[in-house]
Chains A and B, each alone.
Chain A
């Protein structure tokens, strides 16, 4: 069964600290993996997208890694800011159809405290 699981479900850190969010996926055949940031009451915004041949991709203070062999990805946030408080969603894309079906995780709810 194609699915995406994220951990932890929620995380609280202090401003300025680093954190790492985890994503395990079982999507096959695998095409690419995305990380989205979703602020409360808003739609998700894309942070990174990596194909199966890429190992890492950065977007400012966000760095995503991908291990296609173990089917794991992580999102590392450096020097957290209050504005980083949001839900971070991992999304895996298969190659099984023209649409390229997306499989969404439930997200990790990150709270950054001052």
Chain B
């Protein structure tokens, strides 16, 4: 069982609200990732980080932003939620120094519904 946590697990919120999805890991991993997944569809990378103060946008354009002030913490923020943001958001981290073959450990996900 991976030591990576996400809160909240479920969130229902109205349009225009600002939200922050929390992700934390206790494994000391440098690399962290945010994915978006719709039902029956593949995961899409929206943000990643190589370490503290490092953040990059992923393959899928997203209106969300991320920060990495501490190694263990990688929160995702939506300044103004819209119904199109309704999705499952998965956070992951991977072990340092293993290049392209590193295994990603996923959190349980946050199911976001924007009304």
Interface residues of A (CB under 8 A from B): 4, 31-32, 34, 41-46, 49, 51, 89, 93-95, 98-102, 104-107, 109
Contact = CB atoms under 8 A, between A and B. Distances in A.
Given A41-B111, A99-B48, A46 B104 contact: yes
Interface in B1-15: 2, 4
Main secondary structure of the interface of B (DSSP, over half): mixed
B100 A93 contact: yes
B100 A43 contact: no
Contact of A105 (B42, B44, B101): B42
Interface string B38-73: 001111110010000000000100000000000000
Contacts of B105: 46
Given A104-B43, A106-B40, A106-B41, A43 B108 contact: yes
A106 B43 CA distance: 8
B80 to A, nearest CB: 27
Given A44-B90, A104-B43, A105-B42, 14 more contacts: A31-B100, A31-B101, A34-B103, A41-B108, A42-B108, A43-B91, A43-B107, A43-B109, A46-B103, A46-B105, A49-B103, A93-B101, A98-B99, A102-B104
B108 A32 contact: no
